[in-house]
Amino acid sequence: MQEAAASATRAAALDDGDPWAHLALGQLATMRRQPETAVHEFERALELNPNFAAAHGFLGYALAVDGQAERALEHFAQATSQSPNDPQNLLFKIGIAHAHYQAGRYVDAAKHAQDVVHQRPEYLGAERQLCASLAQAGQLDEARAALARLKQAQPNISLTWVAQNLPCTPKAMNHYLEGFAKAGLE
């Protein structure tokens, strides 16, 4: 993370007009749970290139993991309409699932996560989102089955691991951990 931060900061210093440099800075801020900085950097990238679909998508993701569901969904819609065949849309679909999760629309969240699990079963973020979403939707048998698959693929998964490694801000993280706990994750 430190090496990426140094590179992105240097890129922005060399050319503040490069939207990709601001995209990288926004992604770093998201991973560091700094939503205000992330939003600022993604918005700067969009000022530089209003048609930058990836910036809309990653802005949506930063907002989703901060619990700003409706605003996140607006940016995900913009990203997917600007670039409907972009391979990154799969990642954004997990963000869409997370936004629905944070808004309490757990069935919608599970549907979007399940779509990604079908398309890319090796992407554990989708299985994690599916597990928590199903549990919150009251579909406990399905949630436990998702948790079993997740534990097989990621034996070190725990509530502590989720809290330490996923970029949700504190309030959004507590909500996310509730779903995992309901599924039986310890």
What are the boundaries of each domain within the chain? Answer: 89-183
Comparing CA positions, the residue from 110, 105, 106 lying closest to residue 126 is: 110
The CA distance from 25 to 37, in Å, is: 8
| Residue 80 predicted with pLDDT over 90 | yes
pLDDT of 48? 97
Dump pLDDT digits (tens) for 9-51.
887 888 889 999 999 999 999 999 999 999 999 999 999 999 9
H-type alpha helices, 65-169: 69-82, 89-102, 106-119, 124-136, 140-153, 159-165
What mean pLDDT comes out for the span 56-82?
A: 97
pLDDT of 111? 98
List all residues 6 or more positions away from 184 whose beta carbon is below 8 Å from its beta carbon. 143, 144, 147
Q: What is the identity of the amino acid at 38?
A: A
pLDDT of 151? 97
The CA distance from 93 to 97, in Å, is: 6
Comparing CA positions, the residue from 97, 41, 45, 47 lying closest to residue 69 is: 97
Rounded to 5°, angle at Cα 100 from 90 and 178: 110
Kindly state the tokens that stand for 13: 């210093």
User: What is the chain's mean pLDDT, rounded?
Assistant: 96
Q: Which of the following CATH numbers is that of domain 89-183: 3.30.750.24, 1.10.260.40, 1.10.3720.10, 1.25.40.10? A: 1.25.40.10
| Residue 76 predicted with pLDDT over 90 | yes
Rounded to 5°, angle at Cα 30 from 43 and 168: 125
pLDDT of 4? 80
CA-based torsion, 131, 67, 165, 60: positive or negative: positive
pTM: 0.94
| Residue 135 predicted with pLDDT over 90 | yes
